[in-house]
Structure 1
Amino acid sequence: MSIGAVRSLRCRRATTSLTGWDPEDTVAWEAGGSAVARRNLIWSVVAEHVGFSVWTLWSVMVLFMPTDVYGISAGDKFLIGAVATLTGSLLRFPYTLATTRFGGRNWTVFSALVLVVPVSATIVLLANPGQPLWMYLVCAALAGVGGGNFASSMTNINAFYPQRLKGWALGLNAGGGNLGVPAVQLVGLLVIAWAGDREPYWVCAVYLVLLAVAAVGAALFMDNLNGPGVDLGAMRAAVADRDTWLIALLYIGTFGSFIGFSFAFSQVLALNFLDHGDTPAQASLHAAQIAFIGPLLGSVARVYGGRLADRVGGSRVTLGVFAAMICAAGLLLASGASIVVQVIGFVALFVLSGMGNGSVYKIIPSVFEAKSRTLPIDEAGRAAYSRSMSGAVIGIAGAVGGLGGVGINMVLRQSYLSSGSASVAVIVFAAFYLLAAIVTWRAYVGVPRGTGEMTSSRQSAKLSS
């Protein structure tokens, strides 16, 4: 793309596709490419933010569902969360391919508008309590469609930004999206405080409006990006690559923890408050007053995790994160019946998992940029390889990582059914964090590899030597 073409894009709305986009061209980037990328990033964050809110809508809705009215047990509520998480995770596979096939702008508009269906269905379902469990599970599965927005959004933004800024850009995009979790919980808290625990309609009404804003904004201000992207060939190559699955395992520990706890934290708190003598209504209100703090801080931490990874390397940050998560899990095990200590432990897990989300996603483009340097192809071919493989792995890791959230909810459900507490589940989580730390050390930190993860500054020094 010429410098003149980039400059013209700064002054008009995005109504056409961009061709020849090369974010590594520093002259074009400084001449206006950065402004184009920033405009797409802003609206990508908005749409992904609302998508995350709809995905985790049922983490709030279960607080509006007293057992004596809806006939839904605590175990059923964990199951509802698991179903929503599962749908959102599995849809990340096709969503990864969508922006290449349909265009980032076009797909963002569609992915926002389609969420009107589950939000409207939630209003109807909760207005008519006493329905069988399977109806709540189907509705939660439809809301889970919002989880797919992450993969298409991240793949799209990955193509807009140069290697030296990917950690920051992907961290900001994902962190802004992750903020949709505490946002919907805050809206739920306001509704509970204002209208009581049996008027969920206002939560859903707010998101019907926000979905319209996201769709219109994307249509007016985003661009479709023509050129190499993620296709089935890239997905097949990524599936066959060892690093894809190592990174996916790490993402289970970071994002899987974030999204799993986002669904479960309010329920864990509500059950603890019930054990301390609260009525169900009081427990729901007290849980809602606290539950948003963890996802909020975790979302913000993702941005800083990506930025720190840009400076010192994603693998080093990730290793430190898993070591600290093991300590946080130990704090939970030692908390006894103290709600304060439990809240501190879970909030620490949220913050650490958020940082790990950003650092793991910094590993991805770094690994495949380094691998491209070993291929006998020209510079354009290397850039296309790095972009398509990074985009494919972002989608695959996002999907597999999201499945970790399903595991979180199912392990917690079984732990409460068998022992009446989360202790067994926390032991399982700590064991997984230890495994992830060992994998990070062996694959990306402790064993130098020609295709290993490097910081941007180290890459530049290597390429100039």
Structure 2
Amino acid sequence: MNTLSRTRTIEHWDAEDVEAWESTNKHIAKRNLIWSIFAEHVGFSVWSIWSVMVLFMPQDIYRIDAAGKFYLVAIPTLVGAAMRIPYTVAPAKFGGRNWTIVSALLLLIPTLMTLWVMGRPETSYTTFMVVAAFAGLGGGNFASSMTNINAFYPQRLKGWALGLNAGGGNIGVPVIQLVGLLVIATVSNTAPEIVCAIYLVLIGAAALGAALYMDNLGNQRSNLGAMAEALRFKHSWVMSFLYIGTFGSFIGFSFAFGQVLQINFLAAGDSPAQASLQAAQIAFLGPLLGSVARPFGGKLSDRIGGGKVTLYTFVAMIFAAGIVVTAGMFDDRTAGAATDGQMIAYVVGFIALFILSGIGNGSTYKMIPSIFEAKAQGRTDWTRSEKTAWSRSMSGALIGFAGAIGALGGVFINVVLRASYVSDAKSATNAFWVFLGFYVVCAVVTWFVFLRIQTARAGTGEQIDRAQAPVTTT
């Protein structure tokens, strides 16, 4: 039976105990999941705040061109990726509840700095880059949140729980873009401080909710030593690579989509204010649909296996990238603004990539705990509790590391898009040729490592053809 101390610490937690789960544990886990989602949601919003701020930065006022803006949205991605390593071990070190409070309050720093600097257009580009870098603190929240929730849920429900936690957090990207859209539509692109003020309130709500309703787990284990041990397995590196293709695509496109649309609308002859409004009206749709798709990717993987879902997702992403490439090629030949048909194809291809990357995010995060669960079951000299503790520690550590590596994919996307726009083609077409080729590689790697032959399936431990059964106590 779980005991809760005055510091809101549950001294012993066994998610695989079916009787305890059905009686009380599932309700405790759900409560922690809800507030974990909210705190992570705010973290994602702050992480992506510069994808909105660039829409409030006309070049004639802020003196920053399109290429410079791509770097402004790339630098938080880079910092956020780095922050995910220490954030992964923080819940076990300080407690999941305690760290959620601290990590939420840390978001006040980039939000207040953004509020200050956006009111001073004469600020140097270097200062803007430094302030944008602090937004990377929000990227770290994902790793600590996912590691914490991974410890609360049994193996058979991890795909859905982790997908829901991640998807709810990811929705922070389209929500802040919707907030930006509402501000632009009602006040025009001259009041970014309203966006910042709204999030200062939400940050306070996230910290307060975590303090009142979340719990620490006394037997939670995850540290840098566990991460080093997890990286001894080749499948850890394979999963990190595949996560570049799924989450890297989601976060990279989320940060860049509005900027790409704004460039196209400016090329079509819209004023900066009109281009910002047009871009904001569309940009939030991709991250929103991708976020909603994520838990369903996890749930589908619970049923048929993460390996299969991931493979099918990458194959579909190849075709979606092909749509964007085709639309861009027609745009290149006209040497001007895209026609309505080309813009529709462009947006459809982009939206499809968002949805598919969301599904792939859910499926890859189902694969991680499954791999270590199977490896633990192969150790006949361990007790059930030892197997559970090791599997939970390894999967929690890898979730953070894979999240960090995957986030680097977002940096890659923005850098490649910038290079494509400053090239002679002056469009995103060359960039999407690169992305298409990368998805081909990801699909081949997924098939070869996880689905090629039955022995490979057994070696990875991925439960591809059947759902995980509940663990009963003996």
Alignment TM class, shorter chain as reference = over 0.9
Which residue does the alignment assign to 1:51?
43
Alignment of 1:49-198 (within 5 A): 49-198=41-190
How far apart are the structure 2 equivalents of 1:436 and 1:461?
A: 32
Whether 2:16 is the aligned partner of 1:24: answer yes
Q: Would the aligned equivalents of 2:307 and 2:464 in 1 still touch at CA under 8 Å?
A: no
The residue identity in structure 1 corresponding to 2:312 is: G
How far apart are the structure 1 equivalents of 2:266 and 2:187?
A: 21
**1:402-430 alpha-carbon deviations (Å, 9 max, x no partner):** 00000000000000000200011000000
How far apart are the structure 1 equivalents of 2:466 and 2:281?
A: 43
**1:130-180 alpha-carbon deviations (Å, 9 max, x no partner):** 211111111111011100000000000000000010000000000000000
Q: Would the aligned equivalents of 1:303 and 1:355 in 2 still touch at CA under 8 Å?
A: yes
TM-score, normalised relative to structure 2: 0.94
Shift of residue 458 of structure 1?
A: 5.0
Q: Would the aligned equivalents of 1:111 and 1:149 in 2 still touch at CA under 8 Å?
A: yes
Which residue does the alignment assign to 2:390?
385
CA 458–109 in structure 1, closer or farther in 2 if over 3 Å, else same: closer
Whether 2:445 is the aligned partner of 1:439: answer yes
Which residue does the alignment assign to 1:247?
239
Which residue does the alignment assign to 1:278?
270
The residue identity in structure 2 corresponding to 1:403 is: L
The residue identity in structure 2 corresponding to 1:451 is: G
**1:356-402 alpha-carbon deviations (Å, 9 max, x no partner):** 00000000011110011122312111111100000011000000000
Which residue does the alignment assign to 1:202?
194
The residue identity in structure 2 corresponding to 1:410 is: V
Which residue does the alignment assign to 2:355?
351
Q: Would the aligned equivalents of 1:87 and 1:142 in 2 still touch at CA under 8 Å?
A: yes
Alignment of 1:361-400 (within 5 A): 361-375=365-379, 376-400=381-405
Q: Would the aligned equivalents of 2:296 and 2:362 in 1 still touch at CA under 8 Å?
A: yes
Pairing partner for 2:463 from 436, 439, 454: 454
Whether 2:414 is the aligned partner of 1:414: answer no
The residue identity in structure 2 corresponding to 1:161 is: Y
Q: How many residues align?
A: 456
CA 14–137 in structure 1, closer or farther in 2 if over 3 Å, else same: farther
How far apart are the structure 1 equivalents of 2:239 and 2:302?
A: 17
Q: Would the aligned equivalents of 1:85 and 1:403 in 2 still touch at CA under 8 Å?
A: yes
CA 153–189 in structure 1, closer or farther in 2 if over 3 Å, else same: same
Q: Would the aligned equivalents of 2:306 and 2:363 in 1 still touch at CA under 8 Å?
A: yes
How far apart are the structure 1 equivalents of 2:6 and 2:278?
A: 45
Shift of residue 451 of structure 1?
A: 3.1
CA 198–462 in structure 1, closer or farther in 2 if over 3 Å, else same: closer
Q: Could you list the runs of 5+ residues in structure 1 that have no partner in the other structure?
A: none
Secondary structure in structure 2 of the residue aligned to 1:91 = helix
Secondary structure in structure 1 of the residue aligned to 2:135 = helix
How far apart are the structure 1 equivalents of 2:6 and 2:41?
A: 21
Alignment of 1:228-243 (within 5 A): 228-243=220-235
Identity of aligned residues (%): 58
Q: Could you list the runs of 5+ residues in structure 2 that have no partner in the other structure?
A: 331-337
Q: Would the aligned equivalents of 2:156 and 2:470 in 1 still touch at CA under 8 Å?
A: no
Which residue does the alignment assign to 2:335?
none
User: Structure 1 stretch 440-449 or stretch 356-365: which is displaced more?
Assistant: 440-449
TM-score, normalised relative to structure 1: 0.96
Which residue does the alignment assign to 2:364?
360
